Copies of this chain bind each other. A is one copy, B any other.
Amino acid sequence: MKEEYVIGVDLGGTKILTALADLEGAILERSRVLVGEVKDKDTILGKIKETINQVTANAGIDLEQVVGIGLGCPGPLDIEEGLIHHTPNLDLDNVNIKDELSGLDTPIYLENDANAAALGEQMFGAGQGADDMIYITVSTGIGGGIIIDGEIYHGVSDGAGEIGHHTLDPASAIKCGCGNYGCWEALASGTALSRLAQDAVEADADTMMKDMVTDSSEVDGAIVARAAEKNDGVALDLMDTIAERLGIGLASLINIFNPSRIVFGGGVSNSWSLLEEKINETIAERAMESLVERVEIIPAKLGSDVGVAGAIATALAQVKNK
């Protein structure tokens, strides 16, 4: 019998990352194309197929040796059907990706990108060995994936895991992209950090961040982190503010889920060492001691590979379930 493989496709708004892996998840070949300006269905589908052909050709294998293709995509989705209800930054609304890629004659497994990332960390990264795990990704927004008994929890219509959209502060006047006010995402994401820092710069606060940009709008989370690493007091305070807000939400999730592990990913997790102490202090204050004792909170391990690793994990989880 010929060797069997899986493919993972990380379908992002700016690039498509595709990788071929063996059934242990070891990545053998990769392909990457930019989405570019033309984002219509046929162009995107063409690029997906192009990357799939490329990784199989480079590895010298036939497509029929690929037993599953996992596809991570921003939602909302209908996972069973393979239907993309809506996805930001690509013109794929109401596209049935299983039907569209049926010509490949290989099972296609669609998954929400944050869920796929959760599965990727659980299979290959910081979540290994944790069957009841919450993955949180904090960058421009806050996303998440909930793993229960080793499997993604999807909810009744594949919409579960929107942990970034639990209300952190009902009195907040800050409107979230989802329409709610005071969401965790609106107050504790990288975007929230940038906004707080921009406000500080505009208010002429005593901070080196003013000298690191030519315009306050250029201040982002990375700049705050760099200034904080240099002991800039304003930047350190801002990191503490975000860490406290992250800790409040994490404490709630600990009390609700009693997870064994929380894996913290996304761009903001690069500043884990600046956030860790205040996050843990806040959790200790707000979550139940018996539950805090049982949870590990650790940064994600897969970095920028998490999307494609998650897509591979999505395929592997389904292939192995058969």
User: Which A residues contact B (CB, under 8 angstroms)?
Assistant: 76, 85, 132, 146, 148, 153-163, 165-171, 178-181, 245, 248-249, 251-253, 255-260, 285-288, 290-291, 294-295
Separation in Å of the A282 CB from the closest CB of chain B? 9
Q: A228–B55 Cα gap in the complex (Å)? A: 68
Separation in Å of the A146 CB from the closest CB of chain B? 8
Within 8 Å CB of A160, what residues of B? Answer: 256-258
Within 8 Å CB of A180, what residues of B? Answer: 251, 285-287
Asked whether B168 lies within 8 Å of A166 as measured between CB atoms, the reply is: no
The count of identical subunits is 2
3 nearest interchain CB pairs?
A155-B258, A166-B252, A160-B258
Within 8 Å CB of A181, what residues of B? Answer: 286
Q: A85–B289 Cα gap in the complex (Å)? A: 13
Given contacts A288-B178, A290-B76, contact A168 B165 (CB under 8 A): no
* Partner pick for A288 among B132, B154, B162, B163, CB 8 A cutoff: B162
Q: A163–B179 Cα gap in the complex (Å)? A: 23
Within 8 Å CB of A146, what residues of B? Answer: 256
Within 8 Å CB of A253, what residues of B? Answer: 166
Separation in Å of the A115 CB from the closest CB of chain B? 12
Asked whether A158 lies within 8 Å of B252 as measured between CB atoms, the reply is: no
Separation in Å of the A185 CB from the closest CB of chain B? 10
- In the complex, besides A132-B156, A156-B259, A178-B255, 16 extra interface pairs with C-beta distance below 8 angstroms are A132-B155, A157-B291, A159-B294, A162-B255, A162-B258, A162-B288, A162-B291, A165-B252, A166-B166, A166-B252, A169-B169, A169-B171, A171-B171, A180-B285, A180-B286, A181-B286
